[in-house]
Copies of this chain bind each other. A is one copy, B any other.
């Protein structure tokens, strides 16, 4: 599922104009039913909350967390001590308890009713109540008369039962406190699965007491102890989030083989070293010792991670170590297999028996799909709705991750329009459709560190969360962006660093508190898309290299460029008469034109900035041209052909990435220049 394959090109479709089925209300994800009432419930210091009916420890903690987050969002410290809320402003009632180990498909529905005198939240389970509390939080807004929640009745439940986020902690280690704040973000948008990609070529990240070399030799010393993980799993459980561990095998397993080279298909040595790594790393499926090892391993990890599902990876297995090992070739022939695929299927069947023995359900990437495997296996598709649909027709349950790879630096709308039930999946019958469990956003961490992971995940992942929770009819990207902007600061308020992390990185680059000029540039660039960055690497990819350049700080999607594009669109569509749009365009272009002068001298002084000089200059040049075009358009005078030719030539040059960055205002400036010739 992780590869250098270039992904399918998407057409730059205009945003869907399909109206929301719901009245406009600032909720992400959009609930399945919203009925606005009249009036509002004021939220002040005397706000209180209480659970009525039977108590559940995790809901008690959820209620306490809710009050904390309500404080963070409003800046109000509430006077309530939890015990005293006899007449609470918000009453919560959950009919039943929760499963001790959270199950796929537990009832997650809730109903929230707010009027001027109070609010009631009811749910079948504490899970639903937790989601309802997040909805309530998002409804709180500063109005003219104070903080308030509008009178409303919301009935809500998810469209898909599996709404996940994969985080790869192997390529770059991500500490648990960073993951915890991301769990808070997931809970805020009602996601319920953390897919924990715990091992890969670059590192094995869990303490194993049975096979301690896995974490000592198989990592750079950065791993989670079992005690830390247990506390982390409680944290996730409290937030209604299942944690599905993934131990990728038989490929992507260099870190295992560094520790236990006897498991390998080629003689080693293997090293976690970008320059001298050793041969392709694949576990040997032909040796009985492999399965003895895996039996003990699955037993240990299966106990540590209580979830019923266990992800075995299974993707992108290099054929070379098997092709070149005569004993393995002999084994293939002796057992009547036709090829390496058969051998992997054999491995999976053996592994499945081990998982069965330890009461785990197997999840694997696309490649595990093989007629020999039983229908209990869940297939995670990184190849597209086609393979998802195919699996479903064959009777397998499936998850979509194709289209949800957030490491590819796509804008939110591109993820938003990917639907697990679209394409081939749209033709499934009801029974087959029911096998599509949901999907997962995937945060692969080749270019991601604890410092910038939040900005790669948020707020874009919320668009995917909405796709997986909300009714399929939620398709209005403009509404999604507007709601994302509000959600984004609320995520910041509860501890996410997608905004502050960028500022910190810019300050480091500028070696100053004042990053105004650098930020002007940073706000209009985006990292190159898909796998371009890794394709640009000369020589072996050094996964230990510092990630402290502008490409690492820049947000995956430029809000400034999108707003500018919108203004240009509005201006052109108005026949160059929209003065507000013109003023916005002019003020931006002026800022950009003048910015290079402010920035230029500092760029040369630091190796972190020197490769930005061409970008900064281009921004200035293009903005200058844009201002000329705007003048021609304003005077209804056609711009001279020769001038336009020159400008369009510069514009073409500016389309090429520099320093792994794209200047995102090039297309709207091009539109202005082209329009200026047509009058």
Residues on A facing B (Cβ under 8 Å): 45, 73-77, 79, 81, 141-146, 220-221, 449, 451, 459, 485-486, 488-489, 492-493, 497, 499-500, 503-505, 507-514, 544-548, 552, 559, 587, 594, 604-610
Evaluate whether A493 and B511 lie within 8 angstroms (CB atoms) in the complex, with A548-B76, A604-B144 already known: no
Evaluate whether A546 and B74 lie within 8 angstroms (CB atoms) in the complex, with A144-B607, A514-B559, A607-B145 already known: yes
Return the contact of A503 from the options B77, B485, B499 (Cβ within 8 A): B499
Find chain B residues with CB under 8 A from A79 CB. Answer: 220, 544
Cα of A667 to Cα of B267 in the assembled complex, Å = 77
Complex contact A142–B514 (CB within 8 A): no
Find chain B residues with CB under 8 A from A509 CB. Answer: 142
Can you name 27 A-B residue pairings with CB atoms under 8 Å? Answer: A45-B544, A45-B546, A73-B508, A75-B449, A75-B508, A75-B546, A75-B548, A76-B548, A77-B449, A77-B544, A79-B544, A142-B609, A144-B605, A145-B607, A486-B511, A486-B512, A488-B513, A489-B504, A489-B507, A489-B508, A489-B511, A492-B513, A493-B504, A499-B503, A500-B503, A503-B503, A587-B594
Taking chain A's interface residues, is the majority helix, strand, or loop, or is none over half, making it mixed? loop
Complex contact A606–B508 (CB within 8 A): no
CB distance from A563 to the nearest CB of B (A): 8
Complex contact A142–B73 (CB within 8 A): no
Complex contact B607–A146 (CB within 8 A): yes
Chain B minimum-CB-distance residue to A604? B144
Find chain B residues with CB under 8 A from A75 CB. Answer: 449, 451, 505, 508, 546-548, 552
CB distance from A70 to the nearest CB of B (A): 12
CB distance from A372 to the nearest CB of B (A): 43
CB distance from A319 to the nearest CB of B (A): 33
Cα of A111 to Cα of B305 in the assembled complex, Å = 51
Return the contact of A512 from the options B145, B146, B489 (Cβ within 8 A): B489
Complex contact A74–B508 (CB within 8 A): yes
Find chain B residues with CB under 8 A from A143 CB. Answer: 605-607
CB distance from A63 to the nearest CB of B (A): 16
Cα of A138 to Cα of B412 in the assembled complex, Å = 39
Find chain B residues with CB under 8 A from A492 CB. Answer: 503-504, 507, 513
Cα of A606 to Cα of B79 in the assembled complex, Å = 23
CB distance from A637 to the nearest CB of B (A): 26
